[in-house]
Amino acid sequence: MRSQHIKVALVQISPVWLNKQATLKKIITRLEDAADQGAELAVFGEALLPGYPFWLALTDGASWNKTVVKELHRHYALNAISIEQGDLEEVCAFAKANNLSIYLGIIERPQDRGGHSLYASMVYIDASGVVQSVHRKLQPTYDERLTWSPGDGHGLVTHQLKGFTLSGLNCWENWMPLPRAAMYAQGTNLHVACWPGSDHNTRDITRFIAREGRCYVLSVSSLMSKTDFPKDTPHLEEILSQAPEVLTNGGSCIAGPDGEWIVEPQIGSEQIIYANLDLHRVFEERQNFDPAGHYSRPDVTQLYVNRNRQTTVKFDQDAAS
Q: Catalogue the active-site residues.
A: 46, 137, 171
- Contact indicator for 190, 164 with CB cutoff of 8 Å: yes
DSSP-assigned states of every residue in 303-321? -----PPP-S----HHHH-
- Contact indicator for 197, 224 with CB cutoff of 8 Å: yes
CA dist 31 and 317 (Å) reads 42
CA dist 162 and 168 (Å) reads 17
Q: Which residues have a Cβ under 8 Å from the Cβ of 121 and sit 6 or more positions away? A: 81, 105, 106, 107, 108, 134, 135, 136, 137, 151, 155, 170
Alpha carbons within 13 A on the beta-carbon side of 87: 24
For residue 77, give the nearest of 103, 54, 110 by alpha carbon: 110
CA dist 189 and 279 (Å) reads 8
> In degrees to the nearest 10, what's the CA dihedral of 15, 19, 24, 29?
-50
Q: Which residues have a Cβ under 8 Å from the Cβ of 73 and sit 6 or more positions away? A: 147
- Spell out the SS3 assignment of 16-79: CCCCHHHHHHHHHHHHHHHHHCCCCEEECCCCCECCCCCHHHHCCCCCCCCHHHHHHHHHHHHC
Q: What does each C-alpha distance from 122 to 57, 83, 195 come to in angstroms?
A: 23, 12, 11
Find the helix or strand (DSSP H, E) in which 122 lies. strand 119-125
